[in-house]
Amino acid sequence: MESSDAKQIADEQLIEEKFQELLNGYLNSNHRKKVEIIERAFKFANEAHRGIRRRSGEPYILHPIAVARIVSQEIGLGSTSICAALLHDVVEDTEYTVEDIENLFGKKIASIVSGLTKISGGIFGDQASAQAENFRKLLLTMSEDIRVILIKMADRLHNMRTLGSMLPSKQYKIAGETLYIYAPLAHRLGLFAIKTELEDLSFKYEHPEAYKQIQQKIQYTEKDRQAIYENFAKPIEKRMKELGFKFEMKARVKSVYSIWNKMQTKHIPFEEVYDLYAVRIIFQCNNEADEKKECWNIYSIITDIYKLHPERTRDWVSRPKANGYKALHLTVMGPDGNWIEVQIRSEKMDEIAERGFAAHWKYKVGDSDEESELDVWLKTIKDILEHPEPNAIDFLDTIKLNLFSTEIFVFTPKGDLITLPTDATALDLAFTLHSDLGFHCIAAKVNHKLVPLSQKLQSGDQVEILTSKSQTPKEEWLSLVTTAKARTRLTAALRKDRRLNISKGEKIFKEFLSSNNIENDNKLITKLLNHFGLAQREELFFKIGNNDLELGESIRKFLKEKNQNIFMKYLKISFGGGNNNKQPDAEERPVIDRKQNYILKDHNGIKNYAIATCCNPIPGDDVLGYVDENETVIVHKRECPVAMRLKSSFGPRLVSTQWESGITQSFPATILIEGIDRIGILNEITRTISNELNINIRNLAIEAQEGVFHGSLNILVHDAKSVETLCRKLKKIKGVKAASRAKE
């Protein structure tokens, strides 16, 4: 009993200590000191959560305190947000209501808590697509008060920091949806530091080995990097001090996740990631009007000392990014022959870059009538919410089109400036200006030159949209648009046309059956669907109504034949079911325990899993399992795009998996290879693969042009280690410059 009392006293001391840390941080900020209401919110939340513990075993109240601390010290918000963060789980987890919060703490805090409660319900729930629906609720609430999303970000960040106590399958789900939704949203809101940490933590749980290796390599190269930086920085610092600048100069290492991303996309090892860090110069500037001039003065100092890379200057000072980011970036050749990126920012620019929109409030003076970029973005979100995709996952993908995009700036014929995502087309602009322009768009004039709808726009283009009343939306337009608004409006218009064609087709079909005395039943429809390779009757009716399929004599004869073998098993290929893996019958298959680690076995060709055809994982890859409706475990690579969608929307169907040691079956893999062409090199490559490593080559395609060759090898291997060994050996062949496993 005594130990239980001692534990309680220790817990209370820890809670008090953590709350004091929160309070001290708040008192050191430049917000008005409303300590009394924060203390009341803490006491209320502490009482409400008394006796409840987190999965890690610590008192639950430590989570709201930690979230409030992130809100205060890492995002820079004030007492209203701190109170809302302390109270954010009270309504959901206890008997108290939003009305109780309003009576005790006022309307504003209650409104934010209510918004947070709306989006917490079912965050780890069991329904398919629950997370996508949740995200929609989050955006609806966000458009009412931006602080809701900022506190939600803090909540997610703390959950990620304490993810270690969760089951592996939960870790994949939470890490997956963090990378899929929250990190891009943090980026779009300008919360750079939080975005980077969310990405790194997600990566740490999805690929623990790769994370550890990259971290170790960053530490090993620390000394060399420091020497290169000091050598580079000295002449710049000397010149800036002579000219009277007050500044701080530092090197910032790329995040583990962004280094890994570069290694994957460029198929290069860690050693070849040259831009491991960027140099940042943060200068003091008392007058905001001089910021731009000072940035270019520093730019001039640097380019007097080092040679400039002409294509890698980014002026985010004259034209800030839509998330508020301002800086001047340039890349110069350092004294050791490496390209080094330099980011020039004032102290204010730096705070906005790290903390996002919340930092704007710190600097805001008086009321501004100007519509901020954030308001414009929120309007876009509202617009999409009013015309949502019917499928929650499609909706999520549509929103993500806007989250991930970087911006270009184009002008209308009248000189109005329009912000669009990179790769936006003339058709995107038409829809951005007005839906009717989009529906009737036939072409565009870019810089007075006639171009098609598919023309990708560049920053600075002047664009005029040309329309025709007879033009109607086309299905193929979906491949020409990148903006969420264009895709949403286009899909809605096509759906309307499609419905008309479906009802027209159904009418034609029924009349055809009636005139030929054929009975209309489900077996008949299934027979036709199988015959034409269609999945749904709506597709059949659409093709008939759209004149893509004619009901003639051959169809009449076919329908009159005896029904044979008309039932066909449809597999959901998008979730990896379409393969020839031998499986035990569904009736024999036991229900899989999602909480246990599932061992992937292969005994005499009978496997207890199926390989996803979208990413073709092999033993040794970081994988997870998706349990389909037949209790089959479908194995995906953790970074596979399809798996990303599954993690975000079908969390309860995920299972943590592990390859059984000693799997002898062969798996297909593709190696990409490139180098300098010479006589006999192909011979050496095939000899290395077949003789030295005894690997079976299924296919080899090599193309040489102007002394350089590129090729791909399709091979059969037992595991990922064999592929790594092969790539290492191939790179030792004279002339081979790169060899890496292809992303499926």
Closest CA to 188 of 312, 77, 322: 322
Strands (E), 268-366: 277-283, 307-308, 314-315, 328-333, 339-346
- Measuring CA to CA, how many Å separate 380 from each of 377, 492, 698? 5, 16, 50
Cα separation, 463 vs 449, in Å, equals: 9
Name the catalytic one among 11, 21, 39, 92.
92
Contact criterion met (CB below 8 Å) for 273 and 331: no
Active site residue 92: yes
Contact criterion met (CB below 8 Å) for 486 and 428: yes
Active site residue 224: no
Contact criterion met (CB below 8 Å) for 43 and 19: no
Contact criterion met (CB below 8 Å) for 691 and 740: no
Q: Residue 384 is encoded by which pair of tokens?
A: 């999409």
703 class by beta-carbon count within 10 Å (0-12 exposed, 13-18 middle, 19+ buried):
exposed
Contact criterion met (CB below 8 Å) for 425 and 511: no
The number of angstroms, rounded, from the C-alpha of 602 to the middle of its chain's C-alpha atoms is 34
Do β-strands 407-411 and 307-308 pair in parallel, antiparallel, or remain unpaired? unpaired
- Measuring CA to CA, how many Å separate 604 from each of 284, 578, 592, 665, 694? 70, 21, 22, 9, 22
The b/e string for 7-34 (b: 16+ C-beta within 10 A; e otherwise) is: eeeeeeeebeebbeebbeebeebebeee
Name the catalytic one among 11, 21, 58, 93.
93
Cα separation, 440 vs 437, in Å, equals: 5
Q: Residue 733 is encoded by which pair of tokens?
A: 């062949």
Beta carbons within 8 Å of 643's beta carbon, 6+ residues apart:
176, 612, 615, 624, 626, 636, 637
SS (H, E, C) 532-572: HCCCCHHHHHHHHHCCCCCCCHHHHHHHHCCCCCCCCCCCC
Q: Kindly list the catalytic residues.
A: 92-93
